[in-house]
Chain A
Amino acid sequence: MKEKSYVEDINRSIYDIKDEEKDAYRIEEGLTKEIVEKLSSEKNDPEWMKEFRLKALETYNKLGVPDWGPSIEGLDMEHIVTYVRPNTKMQGSWDEVPQDIKDTFDRLGIPQAERKSLAGVGAQYDSELVYHNVRDDVAKQGVVYTDMESALTGEYADMVKEHFMKLVTPADHKFAALHGAVWSGGSFVYVPKGVQVEIPLQSYFRLNAKGAGQFEHTLIIVDEGASLHFIEGCSAPKYNVANLHAGCVELFVKKNAKLRYSTIENWSKNMYNLNTKRVIVDEGGTIEWVSGSFGSHVSYLYPMSVLKGDNSKMEFTGVTFAANGQNLDTGAKVVHIGKNTSSYMNTRSISKGGGISTFRSSVVVKKSAKHSKSAVSCQSLMLDSESRSDTIPAMDIRTKDAAIGHEAKIGSISDDAVFYLMSRGMSEEDARALIVSGFADNVSKELPLEYAVEMNNLIRLEMVGTVG
């Protein structure tokens, strides 16, 4: 056991390097009306936003914590710092980002990825974005990609006000209310009608401050006939105290538009990841979720798709890897409202070293959703007998002419496959890592190459030290 944690620590090093905390402003711990007011004035919110925050705080105080999922007892809101502003203004040029922050992102490969294969990049450090840039040719197409703060007061202020927390309201659940009260940072994207953004946009979230929370808000509107691929990545160094991530993602896919939303999440294992993501899809529109969940101590994550328009579609492809000390409760929800709507969930969950992985799916087909189709497929791989894997499907079908399918499979790594790979000279560790990567290839095949490589590296890191 000793050796195992030793190896893991060394290998996680690029994610685990803690920067000295040189933040310019750090609000006091906890959550009171005074703190929210102070945060709002620090951020120069418009008046409506200040009121929104205070109302959300009231809602937060009324709602209880969820009683149906993994325990979040270790999360003490009295000691979470909700706002930490890094010691820099947001920069449009990488050279101007402070050296220590730049080094952190360099280690994580963020600007390199931009040079190679991205149309735009945003990088958030603690509570604020430190860097934001869009390629000229993409900006010329009219694509807006900016930080939420600028969006609140800029040219698209009305559009932001019209959509902000309308899809996920603060009343949704306690952590949505918390988000409404203390949100900071995140991105706003608008793709105008008919514009196809050929290469992805990316946001990367890094939480460096100890005992802090990150509450970024992502709002994306893909207008009629347009298409976009948006990627988000996240990581944090490990501390002994709890960190909290309660972000919120609201996506609007208009008529015949298409959005792919990819996430590689690698929070440190002291993180409570209580994130809410939701999309509403108009007629003929398509949402594709690609999701890799590797980090955090506890996760509650169920991206929800509302298929409002006729002939709208959703596909959810996910993998969750729960290792020692992790309780990852993930899944997806879909609500079929329009006619001929279709949904497909294809997920894999892996558990190891006593990790708990729970897959929840919820399929709701309303009476109006005639001739809708839904298929859910979940495969689980347990790497040892002390780990746990659960599948909890829920279905509520209100029309007779819907086609609904569900399958779940559970298994372990085949000794024969390990022997086969080893008989060609591969070490047992490599062989097992390869088989696990192969199991998760539903997701890696959907990711751009750099991200697929990063994901397989994360799997490799988890598999190091599992043998012997």
Chain B
Amino acid sequence: MSLLEVKDLYVNVEENEILKGINLEVGNDETHVLMGPNGTGKSTLGYAITGNPNYTVTSGKIMFDGEDITEMSVNERAKKGIFLSFQNPLEVPGVTLSAFIRSALEQKTGKRMRLFEYKKRLSETMKLLSMDESYADRDLNVGFSGGEKKKAEILQMLMLEPKLAILDETDSGLDVDAVKTVSNGIRIYKEQCKGSLLIITHSTRILESLKVDATHVMESGVIVRDGDASLINEINENGFEDIAKV
């Protein structure tokens, strides 16, 4: 049984149909890459799987861990183990990064965490991501640079240990060092959590240290081509043109 199964999914944003019959299966402990030109619906698919209420499923369904989650609320999906690393993480004053992750963990497990143990784990994880520890006590993403925001997303992923992590252009806008740090974080997630990944990306830098199991190419709201890791190289050489015709 697949971890994630998207079946003939149609999604509207307001009156516009963005996804037009998506079929996608991601198994346990697999890494999938989703590529395609801008504006073809890659992020929309990520939002639809996560359950953003502004993205209306008009037909089809989403199965997760054997359960139909199409009608499930965003937070219930999160508790089942779906995580989205946002392309543009929002700034939320009034809650520190540390307090936010702790409350998310407690929501998920339903248990109070001991502060000392939590702080220790948080600080170790921040070290892995070369994040200055002072960020833990700053308001969530407020005044963070683009790179720190992305690192904070990966930090949340490592702390929450989801079964499926969707990374929406986590590498965009990062310098070379930050890309290395972030992809190191992703590698640790794979090793420690044995979770599955759906990586939406334009570049291959973030994929270098990862074993990719499958690649999908989207155009105009449909997946036009599925392949293995070698498809990435093909796109790198030839671009997206003619890819659907092969």
Contacts and interface: CB of A to CB of B under 8 A. Distances in A.
A171 interface: no
Nearest to A421: B92
Interface string A425-447: 11110000011011111001000
Contact of A426 (B52, B93, B103): B103
Given A427-B75, A428-B75, A441 B103 contact: no
Contacts of B95: 434, 437-438
B107 A420 contact: no
B84 A423 contact: yes
Interface stretch (A90-98, A102-110, A193-201, A411-419): A411-419
B100 interface: yes
Given A423-B84, A424-B160, A427-B75, A437 B107 contact: no
A420 B90 CA distance: 7
Contact of A423 (B74, B93, B94, B108): B74
A424 B100 contact: yes
Interface in B187-235: none
Contacts of B108: 425
Interface on chain A toward B: helix, strand, loop, or mixed SS?
Answer: helix
Interface size class of B (residues with CB under 8 A): 20 to 34
A422 B50 CA distance: 10
A439 B160 contact: no
A426 B103 CA distance: 8
Contacts of B118: none
B90 A414 contact: yes
Interface string B62-81: 00000000000111001100
B156 interface: yes
A422 B74 contact: yes
A441 B94 contact: yes
Contacts of B54: 415, 419
Nearest to B54: A415
B94 A435 contact: yes
Given A420-B86, A434-B95, A438-B139, A425 B73 contact: no
A288 B73 CA distance: 44
A417 B75 contact: no
B131 interface: no
A211 to B, nearest CB: 39
A444 B93 CA distance: 12
Nearest to B159: A424
Contacts of B160: 424-425
A422 B75 contact: yes
Given A417-B92, A441-B93, A423 B78 contact: yes
A416 B53 CA distance: 10
A434 B107 contact: no
B24 interface: no
Contacts of B156: 424
A318 B65 CA distance: 48
Contact of B78 (A422, A428, A439, A440): A422
A264 B82 CA distance: 40
B73 A437 contact: no
Interface string B170-184: 000000000000000
Interface string B152-177: 00001000100000000000000000
B3 interface: no
B43 to A, nearest CB: 13
Interface of B: 50-54, 73-75, 78-79, 83-84, 86, 89-90, 92-95, 100, 103-104, 107-108, 139, 156, 160
Given A423-B84, A437-B95, 19 more contacts: A415-B54, A419-B53, A419-B74, A420-B89, A420-B90, A423-B50, A423-B51, A423-B75, A423-B78, A424-B78, A424-B83, A425-B78, A425-B79, A426-B75, A434-B94, A437-B94, A438-B92, A438-B93, A438-B94
